[in-house]
Chains A and B, each alone.
Chain A
């Protein structure tokens, strides 16, 4: 394996080991250095590069670069670099090591050519990202981390089952498009859909992301769902079920984003809504829709990182992240406000920002495929994005009445990272060809046409008016919103208790019966006469139970007399 064919994941893996050893004062610089090396390496990997290794009797394809995974690898490694800058002030050792390992996992999955390589990196991602939740150190985050890990281990196991079935059916482990008639494909779909947060397999996401560390969430928001989107795109292009799953996701995420109170949870639900577009694009399976999915993943990672970084600054400087406890921060965090607004305008699909140039590809591809109903549902999701992320969060966080919070000064590295992400959002919005030239398929698309601008301007203007009229309804309320994880967080408690009571009751009764029988046997061995006494008789009566001394002497004398008689004969 030469430097030309070195899998980028190995660079970050090495980075994670180096980070374990270096002293605290250079740790952030080392993180950024390895992230930059990884990014540079991905950028110069030629299409068609492969690298193989051996594992047991399998040949592993550790690296397989093509036009589909290159664009995903580019944005993953870029966001790790930006996240590294954002986390420059973090002093502990665990977080950067976990983040680096997690990023290695994401790049490993992205460039894997076979299922075994994919599975190994898949599990690395699950474990390393759990550490980023756990590192927050609160009771809430420990609970969320444990639920996150268990759910992802379940997903990984089902995926492994599907892969084993694949090997049994086809005799190879190569990653390629699967057919719905193959049963194992559905197991693989379950595992990947869980990571892509397709409802009802999604509740780990809004549970974990608001519970993770301020800097850890940036990596999580970018890597897990979008690497799963990449794998869906590889394995399930054109699967009709994904068209439906995607539009359901887009609407599901939006309803919860309107209800949620924690700003990072609103952003988590908005990830689900946005990934819905990508999943729909995969389901449509046309060149334009698949390009749209790749482009939207790229744009989404940038603006969502920017939004999460803005929410992170609010949490870092005030200790608060619930809308019901925030308000009037704009005059204390002006730069954060405007950088956040760039992310907000991007996700809302405002022209000149990068959401506009990618989301519209998927919506247009639905139109071109004559799926008008789907197209209208995606318009609703678009309206929702502007409503909950573009308006609801900033209006109730940065504007509105001053609730008396006095944020500390945010670390300068946080602001620098946000500036970089914001600049890229505007850059790609203004020069879409800079992104389009990396898209995998041949499909012509021009975002800046008059009909498309008319459509966006009308939708956005009147969403704003609707928001303004009913804005009081959207204030944060100190409530939580039930999710499908209710089943294992609460719903199963009663049946589980019932089951446990039956099992415990049976074993308890058996144990008590056993103890009783043994006690009786012991008692009888010690005390053979006891069964013949009245039940209320004392256990030991000196006068009855102790044989008088004379008895022994009488027996001895009797024995001697009998002996003497026998001897005399």
Chain B
């Protein structure tokens, strides 16, 4: 990831928050729609939770050696 990649992501995020707050609203609004950057926070949070929950489940319980069923 080069610096300009991050700049593009930042521009996209700012534009989306501007549109979220001052653009047209959904015909079926939800309680969270007005929180600035809600979906950005949700996306990042969900991503982190998925990675850590899955990996923890794998480590403590689900992951086994590849020859597990051959014994």
Binding site for B on A (CB under 8 A): 254-256, 258-259, 364, 367-368, 372, 375-376, 379-380, 383-384, 387, 449-468, 470, 473-474, 477-482, 489-490
CB pairs A–B below 8 angstroms (11 shown): A254-B54, A259-B62, A372-B31, A380-B49, A458-B13, A461-B13, A463-B44, A465-B44, A479-B64, A479-B66, A490-B68
List chain A residues, Cβ under 8 A from B16: 453-454, 457-458, 461
CB of A454 within 8 A of CB of B39, answer yes
A461-B30 contact in complex given A478-B66, A480-B64, A480-B65, C-beta closer than 8 Å: no
A462-B43 contact in complex given A454-B16, A454-B23, A457-B12, C-beta closer than 8 Å: yes
Give the CA-CA distance A459 to B53 in the complex, in Å.
19
CB of B58 within 8 A of CB of A464, answer no
CB of B69 within 8 A of CB of A490, answer yes
A380-B50 contact in complex given A258-B55, A259-B55, A454-B16, C-beta closer than 8 Å: yes
Give the CA-CA distance A276 to B23 in the complex, in Å.
32
CB of A259 within 8 A of CB of B30, answer no
CB of B64 within 8 A of CB of A450, answer no
CB of B40 within 8 A of CB of A470, answer no
Q: Name the residue of chain A whose CB is nearest to the CB of B8.
A: A461
List chain B residues, Cβ under 8 A from A477: 63
List chain A residues, Cβ under 8 A from B7: none
CB of B54 within 8 A of CB of A259, answer yes
CB of B42 within 8 A of CB of A255, answer no
Give the CA-CA distance A541 to B50 in the complex, in Å.
86
Q: Which of B7-36 contact A (CB under 8 A)?
A: 9, 12-13, 16-17, 19-20, 23-26, 28, 30-31, 33
CB of A465 within 8 A of CB of B9, answer yes
Number of A-B contacts (CB under 8 A): 142
List chain A residues, Cβ under 8 A from B66: 478-480
List chain A residues, Cβ under 8 A from B33: 451
Q: Which of A467, A473, A478 contacts B55 (CB 8 A)?
A: A473
Q: Which of B23, B31, B57 contacts A255 (CB 8 A)?
A: B57
Q: Which of B28, B50, B53, B55 contacts A383 (CB 8 A)?
A: B50
Q: Does B61 contact A (CB under 8 A)?
A: yes
CB of B55 within 8 A of CB of A458, answer no
CB of B23 within 8 A of CB of A451, answer yes
A-B pairs with lowest CB-CB distance, top 3: A466-B47, A458-B39, A462-B43
Distance to closest chain B CB from A27 (angstroms): 36
A466-B58 contact in complex given A379-B46, A455-B39, A482-B64, C-beta closer than 8 Å: no
Give the CA-CA distance A466 to B46 in the complex, in Å.
9
Q: A258-B55, A453-B16, A479-B64 are in contact. List 11 more A-B contacts (CB 8 A).
A: A255-B53, A259-B57, A367-B28, A379-B39, A379-B46, A453-B19, A458-B20, A458-B42, A461-B16, A462-B13, A462-B39
Q: Name the residue of chain A whose CB is nearest to the CB of B31.
A: A372
List chain A residues, Cβ under 8 A from B63: 259, 477, 479-482
Q: Name the residue of chain A whose CB is nearest to the CB of B69.
A: A489
Distance to closest chain B CB from A530 (angstroms): 51
A450-B12 contact in complex given A255-B53, A259-B63, A463-B43, C-beta closer than 8 Å: no
List chain A residues, Cβ under 8 A from B54: 254-256, 258-259
CB of A461 within 8 A of CB of B9, answer yes
CB of A474 within 8 A of CB of B43, answer no
CB of B50 within 8 A of CB of A450, answer no
List chain A residues, Cβ under 8 A from B26: 449, 451-452
A467-B47 contact in complex given A258-B54, A451-B33, C-beta closer than 8 Å: yes
Q: Name the residue of chain A whose CB is nearest to the CB of B9.
A: A461
Distance to closest chain A CB from B13 (angstroms): 6
CB of B44 within 8 A of CB of A466, answer yes
CB of A383 within 8 A of CB of B47, answer yes
CB of A466 within 8 A of CB of B20, answer no
Q: Name the residue of chain A whose CB is nearest to the CB of B1.
A: A468
CB of B24 within 8 A of CB of A463, answer no
Give the CA-CA distance A338 to B38 in the complex, in Å.
31
Q: Which of A387, A449, A450, A462 contacts B40 (CB 8 A)?
A: A462
Q: Name the residue of chain A whose CB is nearest to the CB of B15.
A: A457
Distance to closest chain A CB from B71 (angstroms): 9
CB of B19 within 8 A of CB of A387, answer no
List chain B residues, Cβ under 8 A from A364: 28
A470-B51 contact in complex given A259-B62, A454-B23, C-beta closer than 8 Å: yes
Give the CA-CA distance A494 to B19 in the complex, in Å.
61
